[in-house]
Amino acid sequence: MLRVPSHIQKIEPYTPGKPLEELEREYGITDSVKLASNENPIGPSPLAVEAIRRAAAGLHRYPDGAAHDLTAALSDHLGVAKACILLGNGSDEIIGLLTRALLEPGDEAIIPCPSFLMYDIMVRAAGATPIFVPLTDLEIDLEAILARVTEKTRMVFLCNPNNPTGTTLTREAMTRFLDRVPPNLAVVVDEAYMEFVRDPDWASGIEFPLRDPAVVTLRTFSKAYGLAGLRIGYGVMDREIAELLNRIRPPFNSSSLAQAGAEAALRDRAFLEKTIATVHMGLDFLYDALSREGIRYFPSQANFFLIDVGQSADTVFDRMLREGIIVRSMSAYGYPEYIRINAGLAEENRRFVRALVKVLTPR
Ligand SMILES: *Cc1c(COP(=O)(O)O)cnc(C)c1O
């Protein structure tokens, strides 16, 4: 018998939102609306699609392993040195590179709970120990995190805005936290939804010194840039950490199509602005409609938010599916009566509200 390390056996597999086509087949529905995976409702950036088409002619070549053009474009865009930028096959991959490069068995990594499920998986895959610190009123509790830091702590994850609650950490809170946390650990700030933030007090990890503690900021092209299927994200970090991750990174972890698509998307300001406007309009419509129906929800700084359905979220998920609407049940995140949806197009949002009201009305 094959011997599987016990820390790998303990990992709970990540269950992604099911693809639309699969659900439609399973449930015999058509024309369904997917609001379960925080995807971009308006599609991919057309400039990115065009760049990918052009880049396809060179598919017989290996990609540029250093991703020179995209790295230079990001360096310009962010105002950070090229040596501080590391690309990944989605920002998911960078989480895995960080945990493998910086953690070993016996080390602890602090993870707010609930937050993005990949942190737990990647910490365990590295053989290290996740330490969960509950949110307070849906917000990451920095005081509680500081209280859990020990000499074994090597990493702290901060998802800002936090998935699945949509809450943010202010500049002031981040400053106070980074001043007080020991200098010998890494603070990983995941900003997958930063483009949607409306709170003027929000601050990016990129604004803080990269060292002591090591602040690693993660961003992605999967959400606001509409390129989730392409798999490309990046991290901004101290150059010594980037060098370390480069040693264990697969040399061609971002494909030539991903590099070309992301570079074009970065230049497609009009698409980004249209995405943000669509999402904000969608959220405001949904908040308003739910308020009027007396359904409790939690406003968010991301492109998604939580709704308290006051009954089993798994049941509501199932009944919404039969109405052709795919939502995310939060039971796996410790909220058995909450669902999470992302803002969709105007017509999708209207259909969602109609279906939810129908599903929640006692028969
Ligand atoms: C979607 C998401 C990501 C992005 O993952 P990719 O691998 O870049 O697609 C990262 N963090 C959080 C919290 C997310 O929700």
Averaged pLDDT for residues 293-297: 98
Mean pLDDT of the chain: 96
Which atom of ligand 1 is the closest one to the Cα of 220? 8
> With a 6 A CB cut-off, is 163 part of the ligand 1 pocket?
yes
User: What is the distance in A from the centroid of ligand 1 to the CA of 314?
Assistant: 23
| pLDDT over 90 at 355, yes or no | yes
pLDDT of residue 220: 98
The finding on whether 159 has its CB within 6 A of some atom of ligand 1 is yes
Ligand 1 pocket member 115 (CB < 6 A): no
Question: 161 CB under 6 A from ligand 1?
Answer: no
pLDDT at 260 > cutoff 80: yes
Phi-psi region of 317 (alpha: psi -120 to 50; beta: other; left: phi over 0): alpha
C-beta separation of 187 from 176 below 8 A: no
* Residue 195 to residue 193: CA distance in whole angstroms: 6
The minimum-distance atom of ligand 1 relative to the CA of 91 is 8
Q: Which two tokens stand for residue 137?
A: 């009123």
Farthest CA pair distance, the chain: 61
- 330 vs 117, 299, 341, CA distance in Å? 12, 16, 10
39 lines ligand 1 (CB under 6 A): no
| Mean pLDDT calculated for residue range 37-56 | 97
Distance 299 CA to ligand 1 centre (A): 20
3-state percent breakdown (helix, strand, coil) of the chain, nearest 5: 45, 15, 40
Are the beta carbons of 55 and 260 closer than 8 angstroms?
A: yes
Kind and range of the H or E element at 132? strand 129-134
Substitution candidate for ligand 1 out of 40, 91, 120, 163 with most atoms within 8 A of CB: 91
DSSP E strand boundaries for 183-303 = 186-190, 214-220, 233-236, 296-298
Average pLDDT of the segment spanning 268-275: 98
Band the pLDDT of 26: cuts 50, 70, 90.
Answer: confident
Residue 35's pLDDT band, with cuts at 50, 70 and 90, is: very high
* Residue 30: predicted pLDDT: 83
The CA 219 to ligand 1 mean position distance, Å, reads 8
- The residue whose CA is least distant from atom 12 of ligand 1 is 192
Residue nearest to atom 2 of ligand 1 (CA): 192
Distance (Å, whole) CA 350 – CA 348? 5
DSSP character at residue 170: B
Give exposure, 205-227, as e/b (b: 16+ Cβ within 10 Å).
bbebebeebbbbbbbbbbbbbbb
Which residue's C-alpha comes closest to atom 14 of ligand 1? Answer: 192
Say how far apart CA 208 and CA 229 lie, in whole Å: 31
> Which pLDDT score, from 0 to 100, does residue 25 have?
86
Q: Could you report how far apart the first and last alpha carbons of the chain are, in Å?
A: 53
- Kindly report, residue by residue over 144-195, the tens digit of the pLDDT: 999 999 999 999 999 999 999 999 999 999 999 999 999 999 999 999 999 9
Is the CB of residue 217 below 6 angstroms from any atom belonging to ligand 1?
Answer: no
In the block, tokens 């490069």 appear at 101
What digits encode the pLDDT tens for the residues 96-138?
999 999 999 999 999 999 999 999 999 999 999 999 999 999 9
User: Mutation test of ligand 1: which of 89, 115, 196, 220 has the most ligand atoms closer than 8 Å to its C-beta?
Assistant: 220
CA nearest to 17, candidates 344, 328, 330, 349: 328
| pLDDT attached to residue 59 | 97
What is the Cα–Cα distance from 85 to 234, expressed in whole angstroms? Answer: 7
Distance of CA 92 to the CA centre of its chain: 8
